[in-house]
Amino acid sequence: METQQPEATGAAVEELLAAIRRRRAELGGAFPRIGVFLFEGSDPESLRKTLERIPAGLDEILAEVVVMEHPGLQDALILARELAVRPTLELRIHRGPRDSGFGGLRKAAFEYALQRGLDLVVTLRADGLHPPELLPLLLHPALDGLDRLVVAGRLHRLSRRQPGLGYAHLLAHRLATGFHNRLLGLRLDDYHSGYRVYPTRALPSIPYQLNAADASFDMQLVIQCRALGVPIVEVPVPPTWREYSSDLHGLREVLRACGTVMDYRLHQLHVTRRGPYFVDRGAHYTLKQSRTGSHMQIVDAIEPGSRVLDLGCSQGLLARPLKAKQVSIVGVDVGPPQPRAREMDAYLQRDLEDPLELPFGREFDFVVIADVIEHLRSRLELLRRARRHLKEGGRLIISTPNVALWFYRLSLLAGRFEYGPRGVLDETHVRFFTRSSFRREVERAGYRIVRERVTALPFEIVFESTGRSRTVRWISEAYHLLARAWPTMFAYQHILEAEITTVDEESTIP
């Protein structure tokens, strides 16, 4: 999270407006498309005044200014004529779902923005509370990369009570903001400001349609952006408005926001599973540094200086730690090479559902199939064909999640079986395994299991740790002892090390 300084002044706004206009002149048609969306406007006269306050210098900068039609407004065509304040301002009236509430209108605005190919979405109150004069202050950082959420922060430097902010609301704000920042790992001062600029490139990865219909929508969007890794920039602005009509309303929304943050943390801990927080990060998996996780256990099992074939290498997460052991590694996966594939000795693009044809004989000390077979329908065929690439005495190292984990047993008992973007219930899994069914699958393919390992729960992901935290490490190691004692119940993943038992025609070198 970044904070832009200094606080807004008339001179600063004019300077930034001039910088935006210069950039517009330089880029021409390549300049980003910006849409300003006005909400909560039921009075045409207030709408007109708000539109008139938009700096005239932005007319050629803004692709569209869209009034989200409120149920209290009159006919859209008549309204559009009444609101025409400047011919150079591209004004539209968009009918949202009737009586859809705070969140519903914003969902409709996001859908409209995506359909119209807008790059940035500004959310602005139509009743004039959000000062349109400050638009350049928010747009300037938003245009830098088109990848960040920009928030107009009114409540910075709360050393004394701000105008219009009651003492009870001030105390609640200080406590709640500290609570939010602590649980979310952010450093925002104003979580409740609805004056924002959103990057539309992030919207397809955020399930905003599952967000609340009330004002919790805005808090959920902050959480979703944070979960997705979208940078959040807070721009200090004068505290000239209040988002809520009264202290009581504000206190209610502060408490509701605390509940939303708690709901997210419980989702992260897998106590609950909430649809709005299943953001699409693209690359779903990261290298887990914990010694009790599958990645480091697989790396530890591979001898220094050996040659490894990594089937289903994905982003090449194992490449760097294996290269540190002087291991030669060849990666195979269905997609184009990822950046980490450059750390491999070779990368081959193959669909593992198809019969595996590689330009190698039996020349590998290890074949690694890490968390892959649960994604495949032709998993038995892959295991059999992998035999032909193992040296005599070579070993298969294979891992898969444990669907019989205690947590999922309890979830089924409670009537819950929720898929997600990663983990045991990854939405791309086509088959689940218990310890016994996993062993049987490997043995059916012509292998003899010589060693079995288990992993602890991925606490470094749950607690968003780097894997170096002493507390997280102690928890992981304590849980790992429990998983080793009762693997069918507590193992998060099973890792098998196996040797070939069947040498057939396709295992020989022609």
Q: DSSP of 414-461, one letter per residue?
A: TT----BSSSTTBTT------HHHHHHHHHHTTEEEEEEEE----HHH
Cβ atoms 496, 451 nearer than 8 A: yes
Q: Averaged over 78-84, what is the pLDDT?
A: 60
Q: Averaged over 45-72, what is the pLDDT?
A: 86
pLDDT in tens, 322-360: 999 999 999 999 988 777 667 899 999 999 999 999 999
272 confidence band (pLDDT: 50, 70, 90): confident
Asked whether the domain spanning 294-507 has the same topology as the one spanning 2-167+186-243, the reply is no
Residue 285 scores a pLDDT above 70: no
Residue 299 scores a pLDDT above 90: yes
pLDDT for the residue 509: 47
Cβ atoms 13, 136 nearer than 8 A: yes
Q: Averaged over 428-454, what is the pLDDT?
A: 95
Residue type, 364: F
pLDDT for the residue 157: 54
Instruction: Give the tokens for residue 283.
Output: 């690359």
Tokens 């011919």 belong to residue: 87
Cβ atoms 180, 188 nearer than 8 A: yes
460 confidence band (pLDDT: 50, 70, 90): confident
Residue 461 scores a pLDDT above 80: no
| Residues in CB range of 119: below 8 A, 6 or more apart | 32, 33, 34, 146, 199, 200, 201
C-alpha neighbours within 13 Å on the C-beta side of residue 455: 28
373 confidence band (pLDDT: 50, 70, 90): very high
More confident residue, 121 or 316: 121
Residue 339: Cβ-neighbour burial (10 angstroms; 0-12, 13-18, 19+): exposed
507 confidence band (pLDDT: 50, 70, 90): very low
Rg of the chain over CA atoms, in angstroms?
Answer: 28
pLDDT for the residue 160: 46
Residue 94 CA: distances (Å) to CA of 108, 114, 193, 299: 9, 14, 23, 56
pLDDT in tens, 127-183: 889 999 999 999 999 999 899 999 999 876 554 445 555 566 677 778 889 999 998
- H/E element, 349: strand 346-349
Could you tell me whether strands 196-199 and 149-153 are parallel, antiparallel, or unpaired per DSSP bridges?
antiparallel
Q: Which stretches within 58-166 are classed as H helix?
A: 76-83, 101-116, 135-142
> Any idea what DSSP says for residue 303?
P
Helix then strand count (H, E) for the chain reads 16, 15
Cross-strand partners of 153: 236
pLDDT for the residue 159: 43
- What average pLDDT does the chain have? 86
Looking at 3.40.50.620, 3.20.20.10, 3.40.50.150, 1.10.1740.10, the CATH number of the domain 294-507 comes to: 3.40.50.150
Cβ atoms 373, 441 nearer than 8 A: yes
Residues recorded for the chain: 510
pLDDT in tens, 203-235: 999 999 999 999 899 999 999 999 888 999 999
Backbone φ/ψ region at 12: left (φ over 0), alpha (ψ -120 to 50), beta:
alpha
Choose the weakest-confidence range: 51-60, 134-143, 388-397, 410-419.
410-419
267 confidence band (pLDDT: 50, 70, 90): confident
pLDDT in tens, 490-504: 999 999 999 998 765
More confident residue, 285 or 86: 86
Cβ atoms 253, 172 nearer than 8 A: no
Residue 52 scores a pLDDT above 80: yes
Residue 97: Cβ-neighbour burial (10 angstroms; 0-12, 13-18, 19+): exposed
Residue 247 scores a pLDDT above 80: no
C-alpha neighbours within 13 Å on the C-beta side of residue 209: 5
Which phi and psi (to 5°) does residue 104 adopt? -65, -40
Four-point Cα dihedral 457, 458, 463, 464, nearest 10: -170
Would you list the domain boundaries of the chain? Answer: 2-167+186-243, 294-507
Instruction: Give the tokens for residue 262.
Output: 């708690």
| Residues in CB range of 35: below 8 A, 6 or more apart | 62, 63, 64, 65, 66, 113, 116, 118, 120, 121, 122
Domain 2-167+186-243 -> CATH class? alpha beta
Cβ atoms 54, 135 nearer than 8 A: yes
In angstroms, the CA 156 to CA 172 distance is: 15
**Residue in 176, 154, 175 with CA at minimum distance from that of residue 165:** 154
Strand order in the sheet with 196-199: 2-3, 232-236, 149-153, 196-199, 120-125, 34-39, 62-69, 91-95
Q: Which stretches within 117-215 are classed as H helix?
A: 135-142, 167-184
Cβ atoms 5, 233 nearer than 8 A: no
5 confidence band (pLDDT: 50, 70, 90): very low
Cross-strand partners of 330: 309, 346
Cβ atoms 146, 228 nearer than 8 A: no
More confident residue, 16 or 467: 16
pLDDT for the residue 241: 86
Choose the weakest-confidence range: 16-30, 81-95, 354-368, 420-434.
81-95
Cβ atoms 250, 244 nearer than 8 A: yes
Instruction: Give the tokens for residue 78.
Output: 């008549």
Cβ atoms 267, 273 nearer than 8 A: yes
Cis peptide before 131 (omega within 30 of 0): no
